[in-house]
Chains A and B, each alone.
Chain A
């Protein structure tokens, strides 16, 4: 209970703080090669014939992340949700400069990362780490666990002696709940949950400020997922870590996030606190996404009625006006011509909708 109050306190405090990360007008365009796919084959609504509705973006170009802006405060967890192709993972990769942005700015403690020369960026990266979805393919099968966790220490030359690094590795293994006896084993000797712990230990090695968890618990069994979520929360409290937590399973994102951003077709359509998002969603897409999530008990069957019809349109033929207008239950004429900007609707909530839900 006390922890819950502290937590609340820390979030209100956080909003008065300087953000750790400030993202402004971030955009990523990919150039497509080869012939354009037929636009009509995929559109299940049968609206493909209605070409007037669709804006053809310039030939052979796909806008994966489209002019997004948001802040992440120190010590908080920002959840990033959305369907496949919404741009969640691309956004994370742009922040860490694993991909180069087409335009926009990413400030990390006030410094624009996108302008840093490669050498400096490399140094800066020790403050930001990543935990990946698949613990089977993100660990080198030929390296021992100790070497995997030690690698960032060697790369960044933070600990000069072998002895010092070894102690740090054993210490990290203990922190994430792995027995130090396993230090000389190979990844294949571990279960999925243990491998994810190895990935977390590696991410922690350089005492980062930010950890991006890209679907970090999505591939795990429920009971193991709970272990890893608990571990992430414990580490956050212990080291005052900031998380960007990308997920498609709403319950896990709900559990770990302080604030949540909902993405659709490369745009942020709503960003707000966890409770405001789940209790009082403002964007019709958020509402539909919540209603699509399976109920947690059979008693709640049928309580979620606003299922999303159709599928996400292809990114290279995003609709004119509001990107969600082809599937929105509340669509009006204005939504088809004018794109709604992301605007503040309350102290905490921002949504990109001309006609937000429960809003006068």
Chain B
């Protein structure tokens, strides 16, 4: 694929080591009283070492549930199955007993959530919250944990780190709280950081600062990042590779430059055309008619068919399959036709 030519160094990194995360045919359902609802189906992707993979999608696409499934923080009525979900080539995240999983959570895989105020403990100083994983996972002494915490506070750009150590979340601004979340997530130097809409609740200037911080941390620590967002701008700014989700499925996967230059799936195209851009003046934005189907009423064929300007007869009859393997993937009959034809 020409896509990889833009990122030669990336390619080398991913080829030398096993991927940090391999997900194949992930399915997540929630059991109800007498029925079960599948919200994520047939989701496959990998995250290479040091790579930033963005998952983009609108409400109901299943992007957040996917990330919770990987992190293992879904409620007890969730059922997670996958033909493969490996962390660092060694840990099977589907079958991992909870005791062993806890050894990974917050140590090797950590997570940053959208709303830092509800994710932080309001009754605990932020320093103690950052030190917690160090004490738990690395069994550090109180003194040593404090030293590392102050270091972590500095590395996420918090001024007067010693004083902030004993502050409580309500005393800090939204941007500062999100920096604390990132410090907690990164203090044990995880191999994979999952960031679920990390900047959605923030002002643009603070968003830019947090994105810049995440880029810097990736560069200095080599942490891989799985970035969940609804914002194509954040993807354009951060991602190496992009997974586009729609109605619980991956509809397209491509290297980021390729995706923006030449989106393939009609949904990706429509998403880009409906996003206003400050470089262009348009009278009208393209919009996608209709709404995302609900999980209980999923169509039998392609899930986007009802809203797709290019829908054909086959689209509403049979679901298109994604070609697995390397390079770009598109879950669309337009491309399946092309491939069988050639």
Contact = CB atoms under 8 A, between A and B. Distances in A.
Chain B binds chain A: yes
Residue with the greatest number of chain B CB neighbours at <10 A, chosen from A3, A223, A295: A223
A6 to B, nearest CB: 10
Interface of A: 3-4, 7, 41-42, 44-46, 83-84, 191-193, 221-227, 229-230, 233, 248-252, 254-255, 275, 278, 288-301, 307-309, 311-312
Contact of A250 (B204, B206, B211, B236): B204
A230 B285 contact: yes
Q: Nearest 4 pairs between A and B by C-beta?
A: A294-B233, A226-B274, A255-B276, A292-B208
B275 A251 contact: yes
Given A222-B232, A223-B288, A255-B285, A46 B278 contact: no
B285 A298 contact: no
A4 B283 CA distance: 7
14 contacts: A42-B171, A42-B173, A83-B203, A83-B206, A223-B274, A251-B277, A251-B278, A288-B205, A297-B236, A298-B257, A301-B236, A309-B209, A311-B205, A312-B203
B204 A293 contact: yes
Contacts of A309: 209
Contacts of A299: 257, 260
Given A227-B287, A229-B276, A295 B230 contact: no
Interface string B181-194: 00000000000000
Report the interface size class on chain B: 35 or more
A41 B274 contact: no
B34 interface: no
Residue with the greatest number of chain B CB neighbours at <10 A, chosen from A4, A291, A292: A292
B173 A311 contact: yes
A45 B159 CA distance: 7
Contacts of A223: 58, 270-271, 274, 287-288
B176 interface: yes
Contacts of B282: 255
A171 B64 CA distance: 39
Interface string B223-263: 00000001111101101000000000000000011001000
Contacts of B174: 84
A18 B300 CA distance: 58
B167 interface: yes
Nearest to A275: B281
Contact of B260 (A83, A221, A288, A298): A298
A225 B232 CA distance: 14
Given A41-B167, A294-B211, A296-B236, A222 B274 contact: yes
